[in-house]
């Protein structure tokens, strides 16, 4: 559709925030042309001829900027990159069309002709770096995602304003080729590389081999997919942040390479860590040069590389850390002269001696603790003025729990960004597993595009409008607003005052114990918000107008609230079960444990309605990458073990990794979790009846047996979440008003 005269004239000059004039340039593209246009065709295929994208010139160092204006059915979206243009489109969809996309659910019911904005929708990024994805993301979110899934992920990240995406996919193929040039056979390197689900921790130099060996066909397929992802990120104007080389080597490297010197790295929670090649030597320089050359050939290049020396307890031995860091930097600069070295702000990382040795102006720290500990207050002092991003990790292990410390985001981001001498120049969205908490994704992303502090009450009041749509009034459904105000004050109202950034998990996924306080070893032991207050959101969501209930965004949120309400029952019920056992009240113990399993069964029924909550789908995606039955079985074990035992017995039991990535998923609940609690409660019941102490259970043996022999689980969702949510509401207490019955 041709642009109106008013729209064309309006595109000749764009006024950015602060009064600076930015000239428009480039050919206007509509109908699916260009990277932004092709994304539009995937997201809104019925409206591709109503949106035209135009590039905006940007001087080096200028902030990203977008502007959306035009007439009904004829919009012009102008921005500094295709990804920024998609960000502008998404702000328009939210503010004007009352629609949105997320990595979980969408609201894409739109009129035939897109409405004209009342005024131009324009924003300027308040930071240069909008970094996204955790080092662990590929393991906990989906080590076996397809191109279609990756393509959608990149589209969603562009819509939310990100311009730097961490990508570890394909690094296995790079290491495989590199070390065959340094004395290792094809089979030796493949034995050293872990299965895809565990590779993030191998790249962090924490472990190796578990879940492997990998096959040549798997390496080739992953490298080919990685190249497509990297190329698409470039096409969108996003930076694919790739792993750099800092010295990880296979066993016996010094014996095979004269002049090399390696430092043993000890253990990481039960795993033997790979050795570290001293970066000061000539051999390191040759390995690094080969690494970057092979990476360029297989995956392409980048302007940012992520490396973390001595992560989580790595040992420098007698190697001066500053000199080692300088040598790592030299290798990077030799291969990529203009690249930025990205580091993770985590525990004591990055060390002061590292930052003192390198060019701080070419380092960027993505802080994982900005909203975690109350004593993290001055990153300029901590890191000597090194540029950094305000970051959040709201779920460890990719837990399904709902919530985030959003009051800290609203207060601290603007406070830290605008204070005198601030080095804050970015945001870093780093949940350990993505694809959950869509409200957190949207709110955190908005920080980088907002003028001043975000008002949380206003933001959460508007969220239902573009998450579910609106009725004839054009305003959010009042019941949805009520529900999200409850969620704002409970799950999304927690703060770092208790030294946590993630919500509490449930106990249905814990290894059985009458004194269990969390499922994962390092998760909050206490409730971080009031479960009874939280439960008030459920009847309010169920009372949303029927016309707004069909969208995938509404249905996902209803599932999430229902799941969380049921999850809370585990924390409320277990102390009562413990009391009945302590009082040797067999009848009461039997009554309460029966209730426990009724809630578990209802939770299984709820999560079975959503494809993203199916263990069967997770496993099937892993098996699909295998060429033989043996490989398919190995990939399935690799993927499922990450969610359960995590590793071998020592890592699971002594290291505490078991259930680190617990999920309230269909298949896990009805399978392993129900098996464990049934085994445990049956033994306690028998002990009461026989007046004896209960026999201990070898939980790791039980878990391993289940992993190796459980039946296939469903790969397609079943049931209707609205019906299940009503069952839960009715089971909890008095019936709330339902518009369907009025």
Place of tokens 């324009």: 122
Distance CA 380, CA 370 (A): 12
Facing residues of 74 across strands?
71
Question: Dihedral of the CA atoms 677, 680, 684, 686 (nearest 10)?
Answer: 110
**CA–CA dist 700, 358 (Å, integer):** 45
Strand partners, 14: 22
Confidence of residue 61 (pLDDT cuts 50, 70, 90): confident
Average pLDDT score over the chain:
94
**pLDDT score of 136 more than 50:** yes
Asked whether residue 739 carries a pLDDT value surpassing 90, the answer given is no
**Which pLDDT band, with edges at 50, 70 and 90, does 17 fall under?**
very low
CA distance 313 to 175: 23
Q: How does strand 121-124 pair with strand 65-71?
A: antiparallel
Mean pLDDT, residues 51-67: 93
Q: How do beta strands 424-429 and 271-272 pair?
A: unpaired
Task: Give the other-Cβ count within 10 Å of 650's Cβ.
Answer: 15
Q: Which of the 8 DSSP states describes residue 612?
A: G
Contact in structure between 393 and 93 (CB atoms under 8 Å): no
Band the pLDDT of 260: cuts 50, 70, 90: very high
Cβ–Cβ < 8 Å for 169, 138: yes
Report pLDDT digits (tens) over 285-312.
999 999 999 999 999 999 999 999 999 9
Residue whose C-alpha is closest to residue 319's, from 309, 306, 329: 309
Angle, helices 478-489 vs 456-468, to 10°: value is 130
Counting Cβ atoms within 10 Å, is residue 256 exposed (0-12), middle (13-18) or buried (19+)? middle
Show the tokens assigned to 409: 């985001």
* β-strands 275-277, 304-306 pairing: unpaired
Which H helix or E strand runs over 272? strand 271-272
Residue 12 has pLDDT above 70, yes or no: no
| Secondary structure (H, E, C), 49-67 | HHEEEEEECCCCCCCCEEE
User: What domains sit in the chain, N to C, each tagged with a CATH number?
Assistant: 5-124 (3.30.379.10), 129-405+427-434 (3.20.20.80), 567-720 (1.20.120.670)
**Higher per-residue pLDDT: 735 or 367:** 367
Instruction: Give yes or no for residue 613 having a pLDDT over 50.
Output: yes
Question: Per-residue pLDDT for 256 more than 50?
Answer: yes
**Confidence class of residue 524 from pLDDT cuts 50, 70 and 90?**
very high
- The pLDDT assigned to 170 comes to 98
Q: Which helix (H) or strand (E) covers residue 69, if one does? A: strand 65-71
**Contact (Cβ atoms closer than 8 angstroms) between residue 415 and residue 516:** no
- Reported as a single tens digit per residue, the pLDDT across 649-704 is 999 999 999 999 999 999 999 999 999 999 999 999 999 999 999 999 999 999 99
Return d(Cα 8, Cα 28) in angstroms, integer: 10
Q: SS3 of 713, please?
A: coil
3-state secondary structure of 666: strand
Q: Is 76 helix (H, G, I), strand (E, B) or coil?
A: strand
How does pLDDT run across 148-203, given as a tens digit for each residue?
999 999 999 999 999 999 999 999 999 999 999 999 999 999 999 999 999 999 99
The pLDDT assigned to 738 comes to 43
Strand 248-249 relative to strand 275-277: parallel, antiparallel, unpaired?
A: antiparallel
Alpha helices in 93-215, H assignment, sequence order: 137-141, 147-159, 171-179, 186-192, 199-203
Rg of the Cα atoms in the chain:
26
Tokens of 66: 């977008």
Sign of CA dihedral 81, 82, 85, 87: negative
Cis before 213 (ω within 30) = yes
602 pLDDT exceeds 90? yes
């Amino acid at each position: 559709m041709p642009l109106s005269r008013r729209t064309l004239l309006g595109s000749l000059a764009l006024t950015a925030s602060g009064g600076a004039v930015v000239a428009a340039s480039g050919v206007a593209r509509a109908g699916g042309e260009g990277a932004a246009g092709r994304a539009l065709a995937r997201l809104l295929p019925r409206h591709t001829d109503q949106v035209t994208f135009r590039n905006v010139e940007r001087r080096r160092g200028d902030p990203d900027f977008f502007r959306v204006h035009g007439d009904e059915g004829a919009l012009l979206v102008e921005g500094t990159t295709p990804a920024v243009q998609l960000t502008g489109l998404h702000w328009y969809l939210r503010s004007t069309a009352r629609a949105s996309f997320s990595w979980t659910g969408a609201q894409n019911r739109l009129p035939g002709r897109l409405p004209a904005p009342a005024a131009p929708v324009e924003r300027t990024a308040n930071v240069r770096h909008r970094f996204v994805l955790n080092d662990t993301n590929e393991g906990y979110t989906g080590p076996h995602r397809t191109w279609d899934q990756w393509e959608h992920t990149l589209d969603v990240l562009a819509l939310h304003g990100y311009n730097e995406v961490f990508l570890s996919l394909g690094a296995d193929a790079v290491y495989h080729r590199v070390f065959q040039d340094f004395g290792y056979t094809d089979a030796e390197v493949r034995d050293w590389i872990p299965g895809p689900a565990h590779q993030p921790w191998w790249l962090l130099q924490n472990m190796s081999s578990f879940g492997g060996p990998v096959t040549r066909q798997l390496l080739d397929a992953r490298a080919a997919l990685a190249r497509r992802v990297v190329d698409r990120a470039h096409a969108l104007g996003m930076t694919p942040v790739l792993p750099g080389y800092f010295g990880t080597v296979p066993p016996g490297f010094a014996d095979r390479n004269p002049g090399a010197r390696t430092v043993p790295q000890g253990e990481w929670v039960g795993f033997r860590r790979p050795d570290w090649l001293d970066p000061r030597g000539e051999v390191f320089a040759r390995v690094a040069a080969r690494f970057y050359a092979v990476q360029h050939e297989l995956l392409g290049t980048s302007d940012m590389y992520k490396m973390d020396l001595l992560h989580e307890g790595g040992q420098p031995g007698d190697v001066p850390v500053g000199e080692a860091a300088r040598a790592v930097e030299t290798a990077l600069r030799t291969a990529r002269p203009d690249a930025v070295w990205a580091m993770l702000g985590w525990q004591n990382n990055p060390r002061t001696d590292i930052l003192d040795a390198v060019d701080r102006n070419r380092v960027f720290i993505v802080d994982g603790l900005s909203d975690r500990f109350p004593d993290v207050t001055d990153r300029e002092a901590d890191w000597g003025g090194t540029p950094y991003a305000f970051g959040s990790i709201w779920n460890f292990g990719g837990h399904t729990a709902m919530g985030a410390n959003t009051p800290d985001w609203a207060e601290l981001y603007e406070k830290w960004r605008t204070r005198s001498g601030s080095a804050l120049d970015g945001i870093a969205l780093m949940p350990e597993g993505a694809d959950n908490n869509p409200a957190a994704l949207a709110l955190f992303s908005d920080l980088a595009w907002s003028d001043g502090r975000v008002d949380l009450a206003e933001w959460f009041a508007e969220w239902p409008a573009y998450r579910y749509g609106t009725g004839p009034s054009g305003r959010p459904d009042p019941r949805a607003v009520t529900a999200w105000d409850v969620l704002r004050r409970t799950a999304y109202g927690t703060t770092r005052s208790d030294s946590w950034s993630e919500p509490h998990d449930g106990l249905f996924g814990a290894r059985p114990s009458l004194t269990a306080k969390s499922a994962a070893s390092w998760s909050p032991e206490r409730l971080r918000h009031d479960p009874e207050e939280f439960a008030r959101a459920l009847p309010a969501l169920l009372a949303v107008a029927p016309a707004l209930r069909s969208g995938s965004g509404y249905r996902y949120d209803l599932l999430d609230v229902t799941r969380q309400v049921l999850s809370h029952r585990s924390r409320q019920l277990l102390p009562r079960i413990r009391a009945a056992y302590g009082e040797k009240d067999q009848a009461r113990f039997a009554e309460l444990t029966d209730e426990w399993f009724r809630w578990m069964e209802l939770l299984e029924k709820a999560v079975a309605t959503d494809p993203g909550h199916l263990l069967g789908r997770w496993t099937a995606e892993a098996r699909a990458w295998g060429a033989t039955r043996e490989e398919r079985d190995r990939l399935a074990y690799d993927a499922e073990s990450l969610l359960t035992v995590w590793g071998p017995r020592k890592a699971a039991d002594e290291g505490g990794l078991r259930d680190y990535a617990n999920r309230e998923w269909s298949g896990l609940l009805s399978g392993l979790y129900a098996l464990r609690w049934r085994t445990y409660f049956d033994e306690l019941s028998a002990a009461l009846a026989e007046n004896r102490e209960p026999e201990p259970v070898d939980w790791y043996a039980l878990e391993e047996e289940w992993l190796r022999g459980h039946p296939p689980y469903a790969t397609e969702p079943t049931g209707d979440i609205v019906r299940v949510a009503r069952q839960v509401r009715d089971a909890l207490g008095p019936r709330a008003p339902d518009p369907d019955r009025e």
